[in-house]
Amino acid sequence: MTTGLILSGGGARAAYQVGVMRAAIEIHGRDTLPFDVICGTSAGAINAAFIAANAHRPREGLEALYRTWRGISPGDVYDPRWRAVIGSLARIALAPLRRGERAAPRSLLDSEPLRGMLRNWLDFDAVRQNLARGALQSLCITAMDYATGTSVAFYEGGGVAPWDRIYRRGEPARLGPEHVMASAAIPILFPAQRIGDAFYGDGALRQLHPISPALKLGASRLFVIGVSTRRVDAPEMLDRRRPTIGQMAGHMLNREFIDNLEADILLAQRINALADVVGAQGHDAPGTQHIETLVITPSQPFNAIAAAYMQAQPRSMRLLFRLLGAGPQGAGASFASYLMFDGNFCARLMDLGYADTMRERDRVEAFLNV
C-alpha cells in the first residue's frame, strides 16, 4: 500500500505541520520516512520539499526544519520595511493615474526575500537523490496557472503519466525553488511567479480536489495535516459587528486554504462508505477506490494565538493590518495569522501540532506502522 502525505497551505500556519510531523516520526519509531508520496501546497510546499530532501534521515530533517521555523522572521519571507509597504500601497492608490502595464500594481508585499530563503532551506539535488535511491516515490507541488485558471500539480518521480481534467492537470517537472515560490504566492499579497512562459499563483487557488494529486501518484492511504480547527465557536462568542476588509479577507483565505480540503476529505469518506455498502452486497463499485485517511487538525483556533502576537509584528505590518481592519478579533486575526512569519508564533503552532499528534498516538501508530 502506498501512503501519501498531504501538506495544505496557509502561510505561516504551515508551521503547525512541522510539529505534527515531528511527533509522527517519533511515534513511527524508525529512521525511515513512512510516506511514499508527498504533496505540498502553498507554504505546505516548503515543508514538503524540505521533508523530501531529508527522506533518508527524517528524524534529523524534522529537527532541522523545526529550528528553521523557530528562527524565521517576516523579513525572511517579504520586505517589511516602511519603504516597501508604503510604496506598494502608494502604487495601488496612484494606479488609476498612470498608464501602461508596468504601472499596474503587482501585489501588496514584495516576496523576493522568500526566494533567497528557499535557496538556503531547500536542496532539490537531495530530493532527486532520495527519489533515485527509493527513499521516496514522488514529490508534488501544486500551483495555479493565472492564464487558464487551472490547478497544476507539478510532480517528480513515480513514473506516472500526465493527466488532464477540467481545471486541473498533472505535469512532470524538474522541481526547483520557482515551483515553491509559485505555490506560495498568495494572491494580492504576493506577486505571481513565472515558470516557463506562464505565471502562477498560490496552489490553493482553484484546487477543488486537494487530495487528487496524491491519488493520481498512486497513494491509497493519506496522512492529512490541516491548518484550522474543526471546532465552531459558541453563538455567544461570535463577533456580530459589521465585518471589515481584513475579516472578509480572512474568510476568503480560509475558503481557499481550508474548506476545499475539508470537502475533499468528506467526499473520500462518502465514497469509502459507498464502496463498503456495494462490496457487502457482493458487487463491484466501478470507479471507486477505498481511501484510508488519517487527518490531524489543530485543537485550538489559530485566531486566538495570533491575537497574542500581533503587537510583536513589524510596525509596517501592524499599520497594514489596521488599514484593512484586521484586528485581534475573529477573522481579522485569522487574516493576520497567514502573514505572521514570527519565530515565537510559529513555535507555538509547532508545539501545538506536536501535542495534538501525541494525543492521537494510538491512531497515528496504527496508521503508520501497518
Termini Cα distance of the chain? 9
**Between residues 150 and 227, the one the model is more confident about:** 150
Please state which of the ranges 53-67, 207-221, 240-254 shows the lowest mean pLDDT.
240-254
Nearest CA among 292, 268, 216, 223 for reference residue 35 = 223
Q: What is the pLDDT of residues 84-93, one digit of tens each?
A: 888 777 776 7
**Between residues 44 and 229, the one the model is more confident about:** 44
Which letter does DSSP use for residue 241 in this model?
S
Q: What is the pLDDT of residues 113-135, one digit of tens each?
A: 999 999 999 999 999 999 999 99
Instruction: List the grid coordinates of 221.
Output: 492511504
Strand, helix or coil for residue 22: helix
Distances (CA, A) of 105 to 51, 191, 227: 35, 9, 30
Which letter does DSSP use for residue 236 in this model?
G
Contact predicate 354/20, CB 8 Å: yes
Strand, helix or coil for residue 200: strand
Give kind and range of the element (H or E) at residue 363: helix 361-368
Rounded Cα distance, 345 and 352, in Å: 11
333-353: average pLDDT: 91
- The whole-number pLDDT of residue 333 equals 78
Using alpha carbons only, how large is the chain's radius of gyration in Å? 20
Q: What is the pLDDT of residues 268-309, one digit of tens each?
A: 666 665 555 555 555 555 555 678 889 999 998 888 898 889
Rounded Cα distance, 295 and 17, in Å: 12
Q: Which residues pair with 253 in a beta bridge?
A: none
Contact predicate 262/292, CB 8 Å: no
**Between residues 243 and 212, the one the model is more confident about:** 212
The pLDDT confidence band at residue 82, using thresholds 50, 70 and 90, is: confident
The pLDDT confidence band at residue 203, using thresholds 50, 70 and 90, is: confident
- The whole-number pLDDT of residue 235 equals 43
Q: What is the pLDDT of residues 219-243, one digit of tens each?
A: 999 999 987 665 544 444 455 556 5
